[in-house]
Amino acid sequence: MTQEPRAERIAKWLARSGVASRRDAERMIGEGRIRLNGQPVTHPATFVSDNDIVQVNGEPVAPPQRTRLWRYHKPDGLVTTHRDPEGRRTVFSALPAEMPRVISVGRLDLNSEGLLLLTNDGALARRLELPSNGWLRRYRVRVFGVVDEAQLAALANGSVFDGVRYGPITAALDSRKGDNAWLTVSLREGKNREIRKVMSGLNLHVSRLIRTSYGPFQLGVLPRGALEEVAPRVLRDQLPKAEDTPAKPRAHSGGRTPAGD
């Protein structure tokens, strides 16, 4: 029995190929810049199969690459977005020129640093972000103020600050010198800037926030600003057990607003 070529929507295919985000690909379709097998594409729901030829502005587009994942030691001062309306430097502009188009797994905000996972596969990114994976994200956090260890311990039961309910957070005091202290903070599902907001609720100002792990992936001794690809075998071994094979690659920059810390 001959297997039928697999087909997918052209906007998604273009995103996986690194041409543009799905949103931008749909805009390009509306502008008449996309052709499929020599014919103009007029609707983003048009399907592409393995044997089709796709052109953008008259140039053929190479098929998507295999799924890949990188560990990146994000410095502070970079925003985790492909385009910043304020003109600030982005994580993606700081990557080596030979890097394929990638997206982040979750985010780290402007002033946060540490481990950021990058992938060329949007479906993989969503899988790694799923709360159902139960993956722990661990941080080293420097705070200014008087640390009450009982209050830190109580965060494990969830908390409410400024009318916002936060899930369980594990926080422990590592060291203290005067009004400055280092904490280890862990959570499994976070809201935007959750650690900073929760610490503020405890009258603690976060002066440094470093993500040291995301699930099984560790920052380790990766230098600041350095990038290292995760070996395919390691990636397969560490993926959520419910799915044994990485999703087919796709990459896009729009439409996702995962929590940042």
Structure-block tokens of residue 38: 């020599």
Distance CA 214, CA 52 (A): 38
> Which is the catalytic residue, given 24, 109, 121, 261?
109
**Closest residue by Cα to residue 131 from 190, 78, 180:** 190
Distance CA 259, CA 109 (A): 9
50 catalytic residue (yes or no): no
Distance CA 244, CA 220 (A): 26
What are the residue numbers of the active site? 109
